[in-house]
Every structure is written in structure tokens, then in C-alpha cells.
A = this chain, B = another copy of it.
Amino acid sequence: MGDITEQLADIVGSHNLLEGEAIPDDYWHDEELTHPPQQPAYVAKPATAEEVAQLLKVATEQHIPVTARGSGTGLSGAAIPRADGLVISFERMNAVLEVDTTNQVAVVQPGVTLLELDAATASANLRYMVQPGELSSSIGGNVGTNAGGMRAVKYGIARNNVLGLQAVLPTGEIIRTGGKIAKVSTGYDLTQLIVGSEGTLALATEVIVKLHPRLGHSATVLAPFADFDQVMEAVPQVIASGLGPYILEYIDNVTMAALVHTQNLELGVADQIRDSCQAYLVVGLENRTADRLDEDVERTGELVAELGALDAYVLEGGSARKLIEARENAFWTLKAIGADDLIDTVVPRGAMPKYLAAVRGLAAAVGGGAVGCGHAGDGNVHLAIFCPDPDTRKKLLTDIFALAMELGGAISGEHGLGRAKAPYWRELEDPVKVDLLRRIKQSFDPAGILNPDVVFAAKV
């Protein structure tokens, strides 16, 4: 047993430390599609912030690369470890510490999953509204990637719903940022800096999240459109209407066909409408009274008709839930039908028609495909890329990302750069900003131990 093994075991207990061949392959990867899994040197399962602090102190002293792991559901490879590295798995730090109804916040450990938090807040009729597709994802992962999901169009992304952190610096100090407060103007906002930093600046050991009241009544309107651009052009109109949808998604016809087929959806869309439809708009509405919801559903139906929808279907309880779940699981469906990569570029919502037309053209030009769905209200498009040859795909993705940036967008809206997308960012981003981010990274992590191949990866 090496010296490092002994030091790590002293911190978490030998039964909470895995080493070498004893590490199950679950710890080798996340859900990113292209990067090979990697067995790390160690997996440690701390139970407290103090243990995390001691682990990081050792890692800084011994120059051991550290990768934090929540549920491992990330899509960009930020949880893929290094061969010589230590995985800090938060699976034992999985308690909902407090549901504070007065301040409408929950205080949770990073290993808590969204499903667990949802269950813990239900009796108070409150909810953490960040709901990325995968509800087995952890709050720690939400913080790392700045998770989004379908409800972001109304409730915002993780950044808007994480109010404070207890976090451990790579040098082993434990700090607290923010709090059970919605506003603060007292020094730089470390909470906001750590959120979305993909485990490269500090590791969250406690997270204070905002909760919202669960409104009692909701409905889903599904509107097929003959023309792809019409869907995109409808989006700003729905936003401007003041109806305040909590879901505003588009699903292209290829993706909808795959969802309907693999998940046995019954949407009641007539055959001839389905056949002439290029894309669907999904509008989720909610209200605290049934009457207002009914009015809003009716108004939404009129509005999408004015905007050119072929029809409008109000999905009732079961079928609405199945469609939303199918949309949440679209990643698995697209993976199952053979997608070679998955991206989630973001562009200004008004640029979506132009962007998506251009992306389809770029993919077609290399004999590939780009199909998907997305958070239309946010301009966040989730595309499955079909292009088996890695070199061609790399060139295609570079073009797709460059175009998003030219249009004022970014490589990722909510998945993060991880290991997989970071090389594109390094190639396409303003080098002044890359250097500035690197200096910020150094101000947290002088030894460079935290996820060293993530964000600042050296090459494609």
C-alpha cells in the first residue's frame, strides 16, 4: 500500500477508498458519447466537507489530478477521470439537510439527486425548478455544469437557482458563499463563479437552492407546423404574449418519430398532419387556478393557429406527462438510433431559424445529419450529430460551433465543455478570454489539480 493510498485511506477510511483494479467501471466515465472510459488511480468517498478538504490538501501537495463525481450523468465528459487521478465521489454526501419553507430554500449535500430533492420538497408544496432531462443527476453536477432543462424558460437555470455554497478550495480551505438570500452586493460573487466551472475551481460540499411553489394546474399544448422556420418564428411571439409558459420546446419531425416509436407515445396527431409536419412546438402552461389555466390554454391554441400551426392538441395528464418524459429522455432515444455525438449549442432565440438551417446544410454537405429538439425559448438546441468518421465530425462540429459563436451564441447552453467540447472552445474562443480564465483558475487552484483536462484541455 503506497504512501498516497495510506494518506487517502486515513481520511475517508479504507472501506471508502477504492484503488486500481478494484475500481468498478461505473467510475470510469459519464454519459458523453465519444471519449473512451478511463480507470482512475483512486476513488474516495468522503462523508464530510472536512474530509473533502483533507483529500484536496493531499492532492495539492502530491499533485494528484482530482475529478469530482456526482451521478455521472454529464454529457460532456467532465466526470471522466485521469489515469493517475483521484475521483472524489459524492455518493455518501447525499442528505437533504433542510427544507426551509420560510425562506423557500433547501440546503442539500452535493450527492442528492433531483428525484430525491423533489420527494423531499413535495410535502411543503415547493420544488427546485431546475429539471435537466436526467432526474437521477445530482445537485453537485447541477452546480458544476450550470444545468438547465425545460423549465428554464420560466424559472431560469442552475445559476439562477443556486443561492449559496459551502465549497472546498483545492488548497483545502472550506468557504461559504452566498446564503439563503436572493441578492447580495458584497464582494465578487463566488457562487456564480463556481457554478458552471465543471469542477475546475472548487468542490461544492453544500448547496443552498431556491424553491418555488408548485402550482396546482398544468397543461401541455402540442402544435405541429408544416414549416420548420415557422416554429422558430413562433417562439418569440409566445414569449411576448405574456402567457408565461414554463415549457417552450421544439421537436423536429425525425426526433418526434423516434420518440413516438421507441416510447409508444399516443399524441392523437392525425396521419396527414404528421406527414406534412416539419417540427412541433410544445407549450407547457401552469397556473394556481384551473380557470386561469383553461383560459391560457385556449389563448395559446388561438395564438399558435395565428402563427401558422397545422393544429393544436391539448394533451391531458397521462399523455402530456409521457411526452414531457419522452422529451427528457430524447438523449437516450437519439443515442439508441445511433447518434455519433450530441451537442447543445445556444444562439439568440431569434437566430434559431437561420442557425438550424445552416447546421442542417453543413451536416448534409458531409453526408451526415443533425436532428433534434431543444429549449426553443432559450435558443438552446440539442442536436444529435450523425457523422461516423471522427475527423469529418471534428471538422463539422468546429463549423457548427463557430457559426453559433458568430451568431452571438456559445458552444454549450447547459451541458458544459467537459473534456469533449473544451478543445473546440480553446480553438474558437478569444485567446484573451482563455488566458483570463486560466488566470482565474490559477487564483483558485495554484497546483492545477482540479479536473486539469476539463475546460483548459490542451488539444482536440
Which residues of A are in contact with B by a Cβ distance under 8 Å?
A: 100-105, 145-146, 148, 152-153, 156-157, 159-160, 169, 173, 175-177, 179-190, 192-193, 195-197, 201, 213, 215, 236, 239-242, 288, 292, 346-350, 375, 378-380, 408-417, 425, 429-430, 432-434, 436-437, 439-444, 455
| Closest chain B residue, CB of each to CB of A411 | B186
Classify the interface of chain A: helix, strand, loop or mixed: loop
Q: Are A236 and B187 in contact (CB under 8 A)?
A: no
Apart from the given pairs A104-B239, A192-B193, 17 other A-B contacts in the complex at a CB distance below 8 Å: A100-B348, A102-B350, A103-B348, A103-B350, A104-B236, A153-B182, A157-B182, A169-B432, A181-B346, A181-B349, A182-B379, A184-B413, A188-B437, A188-B441, A213-B240, A213-B242, A440-B440
Within 8 Å by CB of A288, from B242, B434, B436, B455, lies B242
Q: Are A408 and B181 in contact (CB under 8 A)?
A: yes
Instruction: Tell me, rounded to whole Å, the shortest Cβ–Cβ distance linking A248 to chain B.
Output: 12
For the complex formed by this chain, how many copies does it contain in all? 2
Cα-based distance from A241 to B443 in the complex (angstroms): 44
Pick the 10 closest A-B CB pairs, nearest first: A102-B350, A439-B443, A192-B192, A180-B348, A186-B410, A242-B288, A179-B408, A146-B185, A184-B410, A173-B432
Cα-based distance from A380 to B105 in the complex (angstroms): 17
Q: Which residues on B sit within 8 Å (CB–CB) of A102?
A: 236, 348-350
Instruction: Tell me, rounded to whole Å, the shortest Cβ–Cβ distance linking A300 to chain B.
Output: 13
Q: Are B455 and A187 in contact (CB under 8 A)?
A: yes
Instruction: Tell me, rounded to whole Å, the shortest Cβ–Cβ distance linking A425 to chain B.
Output: 6
Q: Are B152 and A185 in contact (CB under 8 A)?
A: no
